[in-house]
Amino acid sequence: MSAEEVFWNWFQEHEDELFNFERDQKRIFDRLITEMHKVHRSLAFEFSPKENDRREFVISADGIKEAFPKVQSLHASAPHLPRWKFIRFRPRRKPFDIRYRGVSVKAQSVLVQVEPVGQKMDITVFVPNYTKTAYEKYAPIVFLLLDQALGEYEVETRVGAIEIEPIYKAIPPNYSLEELPKLFDDLAVPQ
């Protein structure tokens, strides 16, 4: 039995717990990530809120391109379960505020500049209160914000360099995270 089949068997055995994870979130999430890491150590997940007695389950590579094939194989082997919609990679969505390691960033306060470079786009992200010495704290937030705006797959396959700068260095033209998807799509070279 493949690691993917073992995971989905476990998922089905614990479907009700997973669907209602709010009852014991920490224990359920700890167990779920342990099971996912048996497929690949970089896999991550996201749940949507319940809507019409359904929930989305996002299978993510957590921004690690080497794990993309495992995201795809795990998604491809997912069973049909009426209460679930399985999604591969973090999808595009309206960016929301993020708090991580004691740092909070409001999505609306972030600006970006995009520059086409060959087949890819280089992106500079301007963040309030950012300093070069705080890179380790801000980088994960910036990557999550870009994943929200563009989707995880696009960030890893169509974005080149990503630079982080303090907001005071933002010189027009610059754009909000909400404007980024359209700008990105308009400038992107077809692949």
pLDDT 10s digits, 76-129: 999 999 999 999 999 999 999 999 889 999 999 999 999 999 889 999 999 999
For residue 126, being part of any structural domain is answered with yes
Averaged pLDDT for residues 43-68: 95
Mean pLDDT of the chain: 94
102 and 177 both lie in a single domain: yes
For residue 93, being part of any structural domain is answered with no
Angle in degrees, 0-180, between the axes of helices 135-150 and 180-187, rounded to the nearest 10? 70
pLDDT value at residue 63:
87
Domain span at residue 68 reads: 3-88
156 and 134 both lie in a single domain: yes
Which of 88, 119, 154 terminates a domain? The answer is 88
- Lowest mean pLDDT across 11-20, 122-131, 140-149, 179-188: 179-188
Model confidence at 188: pLDDT above 60:
yes
117 and 66 both lie in a single domain: no
Averaged pLDDT for residues 129-156: 94
Model confidence at 191: pLDDT above 70:
no
For residue 60, being part of any structural domain is answered with yes
Binned at pLDDT 50, 70 and 90, residue 6 comes out as: very high
pTM of the model: 0.84
